[in-house]
Chain A
Amino acid sequence: MKPFWLFVLALFVSPALAEDWKVDYGKSQIGFVIKQMNVPVEGGFGRYSVKAVFDPAKPELGFFRVELDIASIDTGSEEGNGEAKRPAWFDTARYPKASFVSKSIKKEASGRYSVTGEFTLKGRTRPLVVPFLLTPQRDGGWLASGRAALKRTQFDIGGGEWADPSVVADDLEAYFKILLKP
Chain B
Amino acid sequence: MRERYSLPLIGLHWLTLLLIIAAYVLASLLEDMTLSPLKLQLYSWHKWVGISVLFLLPLRLLSRFVDHFDHRFQLTALEVKASSAVHGLLYLLLIAVPMFGWLHSSAAGFSVVWFGVLPLPDMVGKDKALAEIFKELHEGSVNLLVTLVVLHAAAALYHHHIRRDGVLARMVPWLKKKA
Contacts and interface: CB of A to CB of B under 8 A. Distances in A.
A42 B125 CA distance: 12
A66 interface: no
A149 interface: no
B37 interface: yes
Contacts of A79: 34-35
Interface stretch (A33-41, A51-59, A111-119): A33-41
Given A37-B116, A38-B116, A162 B37 contact: yes
Interface in B31-79: 34-37, 40-41, 43-44
B126 A39 contact: no
Interface residues of B, number: 18
Contacts of A24: none
Contacts of B41: 37, 167
A29 B163 CA distance: 68
A37 to B, nearest CB: 4
A41 B37 contact: no
A76 B109 contact: yes
Nearest to B48: A37
A77 B108 contact: yes
A167 B40 contact: yes
A39 B111 contact: yes
Contacts of B111: 39-40
Nearest to A39: B113
A164 interface: yes
A39 to B, nearest CB: 5
A164 B36 CA distance: 11
Contact of B110 (A76, A83, A161, A167): A76
Nearest to A167: B37
Contacts of B23: none
Contacts of A164: 37
B42 to A, nearest CB: 10
Given A36-B40, A37-B113, 6 more contacts: A36-B110, A39-B113, A41-B110, A76-B109, A79-B34, A164-B37
Interface of B: 34-37, 40-41, 43-44, 108-113, 116-117, 119, 126
11 contacts: A36-B110, A37-B43, A39-B44, A39-B113, A41-B110, A42-B109, A76-B110, A77-B109, A80-B35, A167-B40, A167-B41
